[in-house]
Each structure stands twice: as structure tokens, then as C-alpha cells.
Amino acid sequence: MAATNYDYISSGNNADNVRLIKDYALFLYGPGETYTKPESVDWKPVTGKNPIGYNSEDGATLHPEPGDTTEIKGHNGDVTVSETDPGYWTLQVPGLECRKDIAEAYFGVTADEKGALHVKDATTPTMWGFVLAGLDQHGDPIIVCAEKAQVSDRDDISLVSTSAVILNVTFKMLKGSDGYMFHAYGLISDAASTASTDAEA
């Protein structure tokens, strides 16, 4: 009986496809700012646009929030209809630097010309665009961008001796003008090799 070659089981692994984020920067775009949606990894902010700066060691977190599921059961307990809402995605960012963009997002107000914040209530009505730009261990870029996002949750700010002031903000993504919540470029590490293989076939 001929021996079967099982090399295909172990030959499909490639350590280069493992992504390690070495650094990243988050850019927020509020009302009145020009938000140019990235269309590839070849993106740069306009001159003078700065990121929100340091985040805590927890880093930025993309989180899928599944929609609620409605089930209708028959008289014998069988599920006859099961319908799930689309859900949404969030981006959580623990800002360590109290810069203007992240502070305005956290407090839901616009800072005055002296940088003061005047807060009337706890609402966060402002719509934000964002670009999250990262570099992996190979120096390859990853771009995640959303046209419309609104602050949906915030952690408390603790003013405690020897503790950093952290503006921990969660942005809920909404569908942009193109119907998508967000776009991710450069995240699939083997996309180029797959595309060339398909073209050769």
C-alpha cells in the first residue's frame, strides 16, 4: 500500500503571517475638519494634523457587538423564526495625553480658545471620523478607518495621587456615506501572495 503524503497539513503555516503591532497612532476628525477616507495603506494625515498621542498599555481595541436575536417558537417549542439584528463595532481607546481631540470626545464639548472645557451635561452628540494607523514587526502598515463614530461609553477619570489621568473612550461606529461602518487595509498578511497565485492559475 502506497504511503500517503500528508505534507499539506504542516506546509500551510507561515510565521511571517503573524502580526505584531509595534506602534500605532489614532487620528480623530471632528466637526469642521476635513476627513479624507483612506483607500489603501498609502495614507498620511494632512500637514498639522496630530494623533491623540500616547494610549495606555492596554492599547486600542476593536470590538464587535452582536445584535439582539429574536426567536419565535411554535407550540411544541420548535424555533420557527430566528432573526438577528446586524449589531455594530466599537473602538475603545485609553488616552494618556489630555490632548484637545480626545478631551473634546470624552467630555462631549468643544474647548474654547484657551483650552477650557465648559460641560453642561453628560451627552456626547458629536460625530467623529477616525483613522487608526499601525505598523507591524516588518514595518508594514495597517490602516483602520471609519467615517462616522460617536462616543457611546466612557470610564471614570480618577484624580488620585501618583495615578495618570486616563481618558478612556469607546466609539460606536455608524454606517458612513458608502454604507460601511469601517474599512481595514493591510490587515490580511498573505493577501498579496494569494492575489498573485490566483492570477497565475
Cα distance between residue 81 and residue 101, in whole Å = 45
Cell of 1: 500500500
Cα distance between residue 102 and residue 149, in whole Å = 13
Share of residues in the chain with pLDDT > 90 (%)? 66
Polymer length in residues for the chain: 201
State the average pLDDT for the chain. Answer: 89
Secondary structure of 50-113 as H, E, C letters: CCCCCECCCCCEEEEECCCEEEEECCCCCEEEEEECCCEEEEEEEECCCCHHHHHHHHCCCCCC
| Residue 80 confidence (pLDDT) | 85
pLDDT digits (tens, 9 = 90+) for 66-125: 887 788 888 888 888 888 788 999 999 999 999 999 999 999 999 999 999 999 999 999
When comparing pLDDT for 201 and 36, which is higher? 36
pLDDT digits (tens, 9 = 90+) for 13-41: 888 888 899 999 999 999 889 888 999 99
Contacts of 124 (CB under 8 A, 6+ apart): 105, 108, 150, 151, 152, 154
pLDDT over 50 at 159, yes or no = yes
Cα distance between residue 137 and residue 17, in whole Å = 11
pLDDT over 80 at 3, yes or no = no
- The structural domains of the chain, with segments of one domain joined by +, span 19-187
Rounded mean pLDDT, 5-11: 81
pLDDT over 60 at 63, yes or no = yes
Residue type, position 19, single letter: R
